[in-house]
Amino acid sequence: MIFPRRYARLVFSVLMSIYMVTLMTGVITWANTGLSGNFLARWGHAFTIAWPIAFVLILLGAPRLQQLTGRLLRP
């Protein structure tokens, strides 16, 4: 599936939030509760709570952070 360029910010936000939340909730769930038992269920629960929050934060914050990055880098 290929999206029109006008959806670049939205597609980036979806992909970045899924990537980050998958890794972070997995590591934090593992660190707090271990791999035993119903790890995947606990991980999935943490993901469903964290993903919408991360998506909105990335959608709103990424453009500003990209601008700040540009200002912090030498030409």
**Quick check: is 59 in a domain?**
yes
Cβ–Cβ < 8 Å for 46, 28: yes
Number of domains in the chain: 1
pLDDT of residue 1: 76
Q: pLDDT of 9-66, one tens digit each?
A: 999 999 999 999 999 999 999 999 999 889 999 999 999 999 999 999 999 999 999 9
Residue 42 lies in a domain: no
Q: Which residue has the tokens 């707090």?
A: 32
**Domain assignment present for 43:** no
Instruction: Determine the angle formed by the axes of helices 39-72 and 8-33, rounding to 10 degrees.
Output: 130
75 pLDDT band, cuts 50/70/90, is: confident
**What residues make up the domain containing 29?**
18-33+53-66
